[in-house]
Structure 1
Amino acid sequence: MDKYETTAKYNIAETCCASISIDELVSFSEKDGVKATDIIDFSAIQNYGEIRGSASLRGHLSRLYSSKVGTPLPVDNILIQPGAISANFLVFNALLSPGDHVVCHYPTYQQLYSVPASLGADVSLWKSKPDNKWLPDFDEFKSLVNEKTKLIVLNNPQNPTGQILPKSLLHKIIEFAESNNIIVMSDEVYRPLFHGTTPMDAEFPPSILSLGYKNTIATGSMSKAYALAGIRTGWVASRNADIIEQCAVARDYTTISVSQLDQQVAAFALSPETIHRLLSRNIQLAKTNLELLERFVIKHDEYCSWTKPVAGTTAFIKFERDGKPVDAKVFCETVQEKTGVMFLPGDFGFGEEWKGYVRVGYANKTEIVKDGLEELRKFMRKEYDDLPVCD
């Protein structure tokens, strides 16, 4: 991503909803007469501020996590971090020691299994099944757990597939984890960007903090679902205050505090007056662009296969020719060189077993996705047959 995104003409590897400006953010407020200058308190002294995060921002997060559950999440059970990547690292650094065992939902963002391994933990991958709508097998999950299992790591909604762990499966995971006193962490950075399922559906996935188990952790950020990656604001939340204290101790050596200015923008975005219109914009953007991507896949179904995403911003599409997966890295490099279209090779980004897969990020600006897919269509017609395939 670092190497290629600055030169991409059509970035459809991007995993954030098309990012917005502060002026655009203000336009989503339901309050009349709000200006961009109203978001930030320019009279405030720029010291470290509230060390664990602003009361305003944590209050809005507490409200969101407390919705439709019997026990509200206390404000003190939330720590603000500079992005979800920092939030995830903090959890791992605070909780894991050499010799611990971790079970990680897979495929997923590499940090979620590589960082635990770098800290000396033994990691087992709980693999989603592409032939079963990317659902992993619960019995396989149970077989991976052992007496040293300290942490179960989930990614819900899942990057790169855009699928969800459904409510019934989450309940099974929680029941099993609780009976074995294992902590469950869920990277929920793509929540609440649901566009193929609704809260009315029986299997709609609640947050991991809403399932009645104390030893649960959720991480999130303003980057993906809220289109504000530039403010670098994320969080760790848990039902267990002791877990938050462990994280806070580790945090003293890495973060101190997060920018007051960034937190003020985040608090405005998550306020009751703003969040609904902002999320509506991003969900509709994802729906519109996913329709464009679905048309492309259908038109090229002799080469492409997928499970259509129901949440998040990413799709995992397999490209084949003559029954063999194409070399995805060569495919992506050649496409960008000849068309300016960027997406991510699956085996390079998520593990060697995903040969032929590419991750497409479809929540960039609609014109970028539309024009990029048109350029890709031309490439498929003229150049695709010349790509190498994998044995």
Structure 2
Amino acid sequence: MVKVDSFSVESWMDRYETKCKYNIAETCCASISIDELRELSEDKNKQVLQTSNALTYGAIRGSDALRSNLARLYSAKSTAAIQPENIISTPGAISANYLAAYALVGPGDHVICHYPTYQSLYDVPKHLGATVDLWHATFENNWLPSISDLEALIKPNTKLIVVNNPNNPTGVVLKRAFLQQIIDVASAHDITILSDEVYRPVFHSITPLDPGFPPSLLSMGYKKTVVTGSMSKAYALAGIRVGWVASQDPEIIEKIAEVRHFTTISVSQLDEQVAAYALDQSTVHRLLARNIQLAKTNVEMLEKWVAKHEDECEWVKPLAGTTAFVKFHREGKAVDSVDFCEQLLEKTGVLFVPGSECFGSEFRGFVRIGFVCQTQVLKEGLVEATKFLRKNLDDVKLAE
């Protein structure tokens, strides 16, 4: 039997997210209803669901409408157009990442994974029998890993390099020139790159006019690239459980399609209809504008809060996505992030995620804050967190 470690961040959320008053741990842009989605659409006559359709398995690789809308979005402002047949829908990005790993690595293979990041990106390859090395980014280097470190990790059996851009939990982005360096390393050794892009395109603190603005890795010309995405984070529709995997390499797509037959067969027709409606040209621009503006408003509020409490915390301000990784300390010593988060929740109802438990024991004092919730929730939650820092920080254990 495969030994599976606890999925720490999901276990934490499962344990506490329904018991908190202020959920500032969630990583989705504040979720919306179908009614709200319909209000965002410029075409009020367009139906979200075709309720007369027979509920068969539907299109096995994903509906034409969904895959065409995704292909259009990936091809916009790119010289590398992607075709709908190069995209496969999945039940969320977590399934897309699993299928990519399942199709591409196995016993005897070696995987390199950008770190810190979402646990499944490095643990699933281990479950499949691969050995995994973590490509560390550090707070001291603004959460950017080193290309020389990446080169040093390469082995003759390295099959996959995994990156998460924008990054969870730090909110940092790997910029265009850096992505090109990763491609140069991978192409020199004929290694496939898997880029988890679920937080794309929530770029709240960097604009497309910035020369370093990162495109999707899918559009950068390296054929052995796989990207994954989701309706959950940037599109505020986690409840429909729709994700996708895309590649310009037909061989990779066929491998993923083959292993997918052993899992879900297809994605719910109803879920795909909602996703296609959200990604339609009549809806998607206003949906993204809503979410990006929410992120801009909230990150500014969080930035002021961190500055106000500079004696107790510090961060690298995120450029994109919905999360920030904030380090709390007392008299220069890192706090025990689990004790901090548990006491904060108990005394105020505010939910954060402890870095040392959910992202790695070395992240002492760090907590992940999911700040693209409803603005009022963030505002009220930060007021309560301020009270906690003033009254209770001295009672929090220090990290050992």
TM-score, length-scaled by structure 1: 0.98
Tell me how far apart the structure 2 counterparts of residues 321 and 160 of structure 1 sit (CA, whole Å).
22
Tell me how far apart the structure 2 counterparts of residues 149 and 75 of structure 1 sit (CA, whole Å).
29
Q: What is the letter of the counterpart of residue 13 of structure 1?
A: A
Tell me how far apart the structure 1 counterparts of residues 159 and 383 of structure 2 sit (CA, whole Å).
47
Q: Which runs of 5+ in 1 are unaligned?
A: none
Q: What is the letter of the counterpart of residue 226 of structure 2?
A: I
Q: What is the letter of the counterpart of residue 383 of structure 2?
A: E
- Counterpart selection for 1:13 from 25, 46, 58: 25
State the Cα distance separating 1:68 from its structure 2 match: 2.1
Return 337-346 or 291-300, whichever deviates more.
Answer: 291-300
Q: Equivalent residue for 1:189?
A: 198
- Counterpart selection for 2:14 from 2, 8, 11: 2
Q: What is the letter of the counterpart of residue 42 of structure 2?
A: E
Q: Equivalent residue for 1:143?
A: 152
**5 Å matches for 1:59-138?**
59-138=68-147
Is 1:81–1:87's contact at 8 Å kept on the other side of the alignment?
yes
State the Cα distance separating 1:70 from its structure 2 match: 2.4
1:257 aligns with 2:257: no
State the Cα distance separating 1:34 from its structure 2 match: 3.3
Tell me how far apart the structure 1 counterparts of residues 40 and 125 of structure 2 sit (CA, whole Å).
39
Tell me how far apart the structure 1 counterparts of residues 248 and 193 of structure 2 sit (CA, whole Å).
11
Identity of aligned residues (%): 58
The DSSP-based 3-state class of the residue aligned with 1:2 is helix
Tell me how far apart the structure 2 counterparts of residues 379 and 296 of structure 1 sit (CA, whole Å).
13
1:301 aligns with 2:310: yes
The DSSP-based 3-state class of the residue aligned with 2:25 is coil
Tell me how far apart the structure 2 counterparts of residues 318 and 117 of structure 1 sit (CA, whole Å).
29
Q: What is the letter of the counterpart of residue 161 of structure 1?
A: T
Is 1:26–1:34's contact at 8 Å kept on the other side of the alignment?
no
State the Cα distance separating 1:110 from its structure 2 match: 0.3
Q: Equivalent residue for 1:58?
A: 67
Is 1:326–1:388's contact at 8 Å kept on the other side of the alignment?
yes
Per-residue deviation, residues 272-325 of structure 1 (Å, max 9, x unmatched):
111111001001111111111111111110110101111000000000112211
State the Cα distance separating 1:269 from its structure 2 match: 0.5
Q: What is the letter of the counterpart of residue 5 of structure 1?
A: E
- Counterpart selection for 1:240 from 245, 249, 252: 249
Tell me how far apart the structure 1 counterparts of residues 230 and 391 of structure 2 sit (CA, whole Å).
41
Q: Equivalent residue for 2:398?
A: 389
Per-residue deviation, residues 44-84 of structure 1 (Å, max 9, x unmatched):
00000101000000000111111222231111110000000
Q: What is the letter of the counterpart of residue 291 of structure 2?
A: N
The DSSP-based 3-state class of the residue aligned with 1:125 is strand
The DSSP-based 3-state class of the residue aligned with 2:163 is strand
Tell me how far apart the structure 1 counterparts of residues 154 and 69 of structure 2 sit (CA, whole Å).
35
Q: Equivalent residue for 2:8?
A: none
State the Cα distance separating 1:176 from its structure 2 match: 1.6
The DSSP-based 3-state class of the residue aligned with 2:282 is coil
Q: Which runs of 5+ in 2 are unaligned?
A: 1-12
Tell me how far apart the structure 2 counterparts of residues 52 and 374 of structure 1 sit (CA, whole Å).
47
Tell me how far apart the structure 1 counterparts of residues 188 and 307 of structure 2 sit (CA, whole Å).
45
- Counterpart selection for 2:45 from 9, 29, 34: 34
Aligned residues: 388
Tell me how far apart the structure 2 counterparts of residues 185 and 388 of structure 1 sit (CA, whole Å).
39
Q: Equivalent residue for 2:7?
A: none
Q: What is the letter of the counterpart of residue 45 of structure 2?
A: V
Is 2:17–2:23's contact at 8 Å kept on the other side of the alignment?
yes
Per-residue deviation, residues 159-209 of structure 1 (Å, max 9, x unmatched):
000000010010011112112110001000000000111111010011011
State the Cα distance separating 1:246 from its structure 2 match: 0.3
Q: Equivalent residue for 1:229?
A: 238
TM-score, length-scaled by structure 2: 0.96
The DSSP-based 3-state class of the residue aligned with 2:184 is helix
Tell me how far apart the structure 2 counterparts of residues 387 and 256 of structure 1 sit (CA, whole Å).
49
- Counterpart selection for 2:35 from 23, 28, 47: 23
Is 2:228–2:245's contact at 8 Å kept on the other side of the alignment?
yes
Q: What is the letter of the counterpart of residue 271 of structure 1?
A: D
Tell me how far apart the structure 2 counterparts of residues 63 and 181 of structure 1 sit (CA, whole Å).
28
1:278 aligns with 2:287: yes
Per-residue deviation, residues 94-114 of structure 1 (Å, max 9, x unmatched):
111111000100000000001
Tell me how far apart the structure 1 counterparts of residues 305 and 170 of structure 2 sit (CA, whole Å).
17
Is 2:80–2:220's contact at 8 Å kept on the other side of the alignment?
no
Q: What's the RMSD between the two structures over aligned residues?
A: 0.8
Deviant stretches of 4+, over 4 Å: none
Tell me how far apart the structure 2 counterparts of residues 12 and 109 of structure 1 sit (CA, whole Å).
17
Q: Equivalent residue for 1:168?
A: 177
Is 1:346–1:354's contact at 8 Å kept on the other side of the alignment?
yes
